[in-house]
Structure 1
Amino acid sequence: MRVRLLGPVELCGEHGAVPVGPRARAVLAALALEAGRPVGVQRLARAVWPPSPPATATTQIQGCVSALRRAFGPARELLVTCPPGYLLALDADAVDALDFARKAGLARTAARLGDGERAALLLRQALSGWRGPALEGVPGLYAEAAQLEEQRLLALEARLQADLARGMAAGLVPELTALCAAHPLRERFHGQLMTALARSGRKPAAREAYRRVREALVGELGLEPGQELRRIQRDVLAGPEPAETTLPYDPADFTGRAAETLRVAEAVTSAALPIVVISGRPGAGSTSLAVHAAHQLRRRFPDGCLYADLHFTAEPLEVLGRLLRMLGVAEPPPGLAERAELYRARTRGRRLLVILNDASAERQVLPLLPGGEGPGVLVTGRSRLSALPGAVHVELAPLPPGEALELLARVAGYGRVAAAPEAARRLVELCDRLPLAVRSAAARLAGKPHWRLADLVFRLADEDRRLGELAHGDLDVRPGLAASHARLSARARRVFARLADGSFARLADGSFDRGEPDDLLEELVDARLLEVVRCEDSGRMSFRPPGLVRCFARGLSPRTEVGNATDDRG
């Protein structure tokens, strides 16, 4: 048997609701609220006849209990005579009001332990059992009904707070708007609505919500808003203005990467503190993708976008100083810990998008992560930063052939590419289909209208001069390759120098790796200077350098490289 109190009072058996008269239903409700504990006859009588039971109340209560036992049928032994009253021997999970209280208590424990997702799930389960006003049809239990309603509202507030902490602000606005209309003097709902509006980029609407609740409180109660509501008004609404956006421009000829852009957008807007790492070979376009995605996401981050170039080697202390100045701190504190603490405080709860470009390691990024829920983070670099906690990783391969040709055509001219399709295909392959290299080649063609595509293909075919031919203004693959090479340990640089000395053929056919420790080859892979090739038949793994890396290695002096590699970080 089950008793339902969170709505019209019902006794439910195996086949559904069991008919019970109104007086017996009141007795049932009073007993179920105290399931497992005795309830005196006088208390049962007040539940049936508020506020003054008749002189025959004891006899009539006995009749109600007899009627309930008939309704319980084979389970009649659950209703126990326990002088001076009766006891309903049901487990707590058989009474929806008690089950609700149990789940709400578990949710509070989960929240204290920092498990917001479990807390939200438990609260949703607890609230799902409500079918209407508690103890409906039993006016004698109005105090108990009011207490249950207050517990429901507290659980609802806790569930909404958990959802806000999980980054669901925009989706909560309609529900919170309705709750504020239904409970015009309940400050917690109004504070949550203000927070949800502000985090959704609707600060004017949030200020209007504060004005309305303040007018209601002063007009109805003669009271100013409480401390918590004033804090939200001060911190969320009267907080700092949007940070000055420092994004580089979004190139008009940005081409392809639609799937990667969508994945970045979904990841950076789907969690309380989303971190997305975009990585790939030098020239793969990780910076361009991050900037392109950031421009598309600016409306989702109304408090601004912060862009910091880490230049692969920048120290967190210096970068934090730059970020704090972007946030309006004229004189950042001198120490790393103090700067990091102030930075987290200035970014906590704000819908900011932070782009950390060209990072080299987790230790460089960790102090630059903003505080609390609200901000999103895009990190770019050659390193995968696989140890960065909670990060979503987006790996950039070379462009597909069609997208590489489209980029070439957009910059160099569609007519020239259409007139020489074979040369165009050969050209983008010589560029490894890397966006930076293709864009540089296309820019050279655009500046040389008298050149045919075949002319540039002829120049690029010479590996000793290919990288030089692909340098055009700021478009140059070599600095990225040089930075990756400079970060290698001394032993890995010696291996790379051997590649420059003619060992590519043996490396490509899998023979070279037998004589070299696996960790050195893996270091070159991590630096994006080698690619892994796995034989489908044998499963054997071998390594090969991409074409432009091979050209870079040919430009090094093996003797100089080995001679200068005196340190050993491998």
Structure 2
Amino acid sequence: MQVRLLGPVELCDARGSVPIGPRARAVLAALALDAGRPVSVERLVATVWPEAPPATATTQIQGCVSSLRRAFGESRGLLVTSGPGYLLEMGEEEIDALGFGARVREARRAVRGGDDDSAARLLREALRGWRGSALDGVPGLHAEASVLEEQRLAAVEERITADLGRGRAAELLPELAALCADHPLRERFHAQLMVALTRSGRRPEALEAYQRIRCTLVTDLGLEPGSELQRLQRDVLAAAPVPESTLPQDVADFTGRIAETEMIVGVLAASSAPIVAISGRPGAGATSLAVHAAHRLRSRFPDGCLYADLHFTADPGEVLGRVLRFLGVPVPPRARAERAELYRARMNGRRILLVLNDAAAESQVLPLLPGAGGSAVVVTGRTRLTALPGALHLDLAPLPVSDALALLARIAGPGRIRTEPEAAARLVDLCDRLPLTVRAAGARLAGKPHWRIADLVARLSDDQHRLAELAHGDLDVRRGIAASLAGLSAPARTVFARLADGSFTREETDDLIEELVDARLLEAVRCDDSGRMRFRQPGLVRAFARGLSIRTEVGNATEEAGP
């Protein structure tokens, strides 16, 4: 049995709504609101007859309870007599108002943990249960209905805050405009509209929104707007960054890397390290992880989140100029030293999260470190940037088999994985269990519903064609490998191609081999019996080296990688 209070009061069983009279509905609503606690007959009488109860009120309440027990059928034992009243033994799974409250509390725990995605999802689930005005049809519970309605509006506000934290400002504008029209005196909705307009690049409209709510408050109540609205107006007028973000959208089907994500969020949220440096092979998902963690952290950095792609070769001075424009400096100084000095001054006292993607060396990152204060940096790169001061270093391995299969299932469909489990396991191995290549393989299968997984495995078994088969739109690991190769010295590129036939040892090329290891084009695996370290090229890297001739690939690697 289900009791619905978030709309017209209803009692439902597996077949739908169970007919009960209006007085029985009022009794049911009063009992459900206090489920698990006894409700006195006196309270039930006041609910059914808020004005002047008849002399037979107590007898009629007993009749209502009897009719409810008949309506409950086999579940009649849920409604029991308790002292001078009655008790309904139902919980949050059976009473929609209780389930609503439980989901809202869970969402608030997610917010405290910095997880805006989960908070928004839980609040949407909670609000989906509303079918109209709470306790509709029971005038004796007007005060309780007002409390529930306030809880609903608060949940809407919290869901919008979570969605703003997920970078969905523009999508929220129509909803916020409607909410402000429906609730002209509710300042929080107007404040959220101002934030959404500002983050959408519509600052003049944000100021107009402020003037509208101010006019309404002064005219209707004789009051000025509250402190939050006044602060937002000052920020917009000063062109200061009202919590903004230039982060790319989070990956909707991000899978795995749970421990790594929690480590990044925990460290930066606690301010125990100002920098997290993520490194990994091409295709290991360092960028996706950095962006995913940054979205989780947005509420911890109220002055904004900034994403800058360094493309391995970007000049730090040019990146400083972009950051300064974000910080409200329309024309940054020409000299890099002056830009760096102004940048540190502007960052002082602010909490901004800076995501620097694809750094080639510490020299690119050091001028962009914010200095003292509450800001933080997440930086990604192929090489381990061990000279960054105070950084937490996170080196990404391939995905565990279970996570790689879970990612494949989310893209290609879980039914196909269940049908061909061995072929699926072989497929993710051929992808080196890298998120980029597993995603590409899943996308190929999704686009070829008539293929078996074994068909794609057969195509990938040939090294010369494997990388081409794993290219799907922008998902192409060859670009990352070629970019890493382009950054090497010419002798190291030659060694890369010459040693593509398996594992090998250091001989006269120690420095060149270390250059390949630093670029993630070579892996140290073990020491042989002579004590010498042995190395190997990962499967997809080896396929890259084998599949193309030295003259074509090594000679043109720089051109293929692009600027």
Q: Identify the TM-score tier after normalising by the shorter chain.
A: 0.5 to 0.7
Counterpart code for 1:100:
F
Do the aligned partners of 1:513 and 1:543 also contact (CA within 8 Å) in 2?
no
| 1:232 matched residue in structure 2 | 232
Deviations 1:8-45, CA, capped at 9 Å, x for gaps:
00001122111000011100100010011000111111
| 2:248 matched residue in structure 1 | 268
Do the aligned partners of 1:4 and 1:96 also contact (CA within 8 Å) in 2?
yes
For residues 503 and 304 of structure 1, the distance between their equivalents in structure 2, rounded to whole angstroms, comes to 39
Deviations 1:132-162, CA, capped at 9 Å, x for gaps:
0000011110000000000000011001000
For residues 62 and 197 of structure 1, the distance between their equivalents in structure 2, rounded to whole angstroms, comes to 56
Q: Which moved more, 1:98-107 or 1:539-548?
A: 539-548
- Work out which of the residue numbers 334, 342, 347 in structure 2 matches 1:343: 347
Once the two structures are TM-superposed, the CA of residue 107 in structure 1 deviates from its matched residue by 1.3
For residues 519 and 4 of structure 1, the distance between their equivalents in structure 2, rounded to whole angstroms, comes to 72
Q: Which moved more, 1:359-368 or 1:106-115?
A: 359-368
Q: Look up the SS of the partner of 1:515 in the other structure.
A: coil
Do the aligned partners of 2:9 and 2:136 also contact (CA within 8 Å) in 1?
yes
TM-score norm. by structure 2 comes to: 0.57
Q: Does 1:122 align with 2:122?
A: yes
| 1:401 matched residue in structure 2 | none
| 2:407 matched residue in structure 1 | none
For residues 204 and 233 of structure 2, the distance between their equivalents in structure 1, rounded to whole angstroms, comes to 12
Do the aligned partners of 2:247 and 2:307 also contact (CA within 8 Å) in 1?
no
| 1:109 matched residue in structure 2 | 109
Deviations 1:198-242, CA, capped at 9 Å, x for gaps:
111111211111111111111111111001111122224542499
For residues 148 and 39 of structure 2, the distance between their equivalents in structure 1, rounded to whole angstroms, comes to 19
Identity score, percent:
52
Task: Mark the CA change 1:207 to 1:319 in structure 2 (over 3 Å): closer, same or farther.
Answer: closer
| 1:461 matched residue in structure 2 | none
For residues 19 and 363 of structure 1, the distance between their equivalents in structure 2, rounded to whole angstroms, comes to 69
Do the aligned partners of 1:7 and 1:132 also contact (CA within 8 Å) in 2?
yes
Q: How does 1:290-305 map to 2 (within 5 A)?
A: none
- Work out which of the residue numbers 341, 358, 369 in structure 2 matches 1:367: 369
TM-score norm. by structure 1 comes to: 0.56
| 1:92 matched residue in structure 2 | 92
| 1:523 matched residue in structure 2 | 515
Q: Which moved more, 1:354-363 or 1:104-113?
A: 354-363
Task: Mark the CA change 1:127 to 1:310 in structure 2 (over 3 Å): closer, same or farther.
Answer: same
Segments of 5+ residues of structure 1 without an aligned counterpart are 243-265, 282-302, 396-433, 436-476, 486-495, 553-570
Do the aligned partners of 2:39 and 2:86 also contact (CA within 8 Å) in 1?
yes
Number of residues of Structure 1 aligned to a counterpart in Structure 2: 404
Do the aligned partners of 1:276 and 1:393 also contact (CA within 8 Å) in 2?
no
Deviations 1:161-209, CA, capped at 9 Å, x for gaps:
0000011111111111111110011000111111111111111211111
Once the two structures are TM-superposed, the CA of residue 74 in structure 1 deviates from its matched residue by 1.9
Q: How does 1:162-241 map to 2 (within 5 A)?
A: 162-240=162-240
Do the aligned partners of 2:12 and 2:18 also contact (CA within 8 Å) in 1?
yes
Counterpart code for 1:40:
S
For residues 93 and 522 of structure 2, the distance between their equivalents in structure 1, rounded to whole angstroms, comes to 61
Do the aligned partners of 1:362 and 1:388 also contact (CA within 8 Å) in 2?
no
| 1:37 matched residue in structure 2 | 37
For residues 109 and 121 of structure 1, the distance between their equivalents in structure 2, rounded to whole angstroms, comes to 13
Task: Mark the CA change 1:143 to 1:363 in structure 2 (over 3 Å): closer, same or farther.
Answer: same
Q: How does 1:276-355 map to 2 (within 5 A)?
A: 324=324, 327-328=328-329, 342-343=346-347, 348=352
Task: Mark the CA change 1:327 to 1:180 in structure 2 (over 3 Å): closer, same or farther.
Answer: closer
Counterpart code for 2:231:
R
Do the aligned partners of 1:3 and 1:9 also contact (CA within 8 Å) in 2?
yes
| 2:58 matched residue in structure 1 | 58
Segments of 5+ residues of structure 2 without an aligned counterpart are 253-263, 265-275, 283-304, 387-392, 397-433, 438-477, 524-535, 557-563
Once the two structures are TM-superposed, the CA of residue 323 in structure 1 deviates from its matched residue by 5.1
For residues 342 and 41 of structure 2, the distance between their equivalents in structure 1, rounded to whole angstroms, comes to 66
For residues 509 and 358 of structure 1, the distance between their equivalents in structure 2, rounded to whole angstroms, comes to 28
For residues 86 and 505 of structure 1, the distance between their equivalents in structure 2, rounded to whole angstroms, comes to 82
For residues 385 and 394 of structure 1, the distance between their equivalents in structure 2, rounded to whole angstroms, comes to 22
- Structure with larger Rg: 1
For residues 88 and 236 of structure 2, the distance between their equivalents in structure 1, rounded to whole angstroms, comes to 50
Task: Mark the CA change 1:175 to 1:307 in structure 2 (over 3 Å): closer, same or farther.
Answer: same
Do the aligned partners of 2:3 and 2:32 also contact (CA within 8 Å) in 1?
yes
Task: Mark the CA change 1:28 to 1:92 in structure 2 (over 3 Å): closer, same or farther.
Answer: same
| 1:142 matched residue in structure 2 | 142
Deviations 1:429-463, CA, capped at 9 Å, x for gaps:
xxxxx99xxxxxxxxxxxxxxxxxxxxxxxxxxxx
Do the aligned partners of 1:107 and 1:119 also contact (CA within 8 Å) in 2?
yes
For residues 546 and 144 of structure 2, the distance between their equivalents in structure 1, rounded to whole angstroms, comes to 74
For residues 75 and 496 of structure 2, the distance between their equivalents in structure 1, rounded to whole angstroms, comes to 84
Task: Mark the CA change 1:512 to 1:40 in structure 2 (over 3 Å): closer, same or farther.
Answer: closer
For residues 315 and 178 of structure 2, the distance between their equivalents in structure 1, rounded to whole angstroms, comes to 52
Do the aligned partners of 2:185 and 2:217 also contact (CA within 8 Å) in 1?
yes
Q: How does 1:374-389 map to 2 (within 5 A)?
A: 383=383
Counterpart code for 2:347:
Y
Task: Mark the CA change 1:16 to 1:544 in structure 2 (over 3 Å): closer, same or farther.
Answer: closer
Once the two structures are TM-superposed, the CA of residue 116 in structure 1 deviates from its matched residue by 1.9
Q: Look up the SS of the partner of 1:134 in the other structure.
A: coil
Task: Mark the CA change 1:551 to 1:67 in structure 2 (over 3 Å): closer, same or farther.
Answer: closer
Deviations 1:237-259, CA, capped at 9 Å, x for gaps:
542499xxxxxxxxxxxxxxxxx
Counterpart code for 1:521:
I
Q: Does 1:132 align with 2:124?
A: no
Task: Mark the CA change 1:22 to 1:234 in structure 2 (over 3 Å): closer, same or farther.
Answer: same
For residues 105 and 360 of structure 1, the distance between their equivalents in structure 2, rounded to whole angstroms, comes to 43
Counterpart code for 1:143:
A
Counterpart code for 1:195:
V
| 1:442 matched residue in structure 2 | none
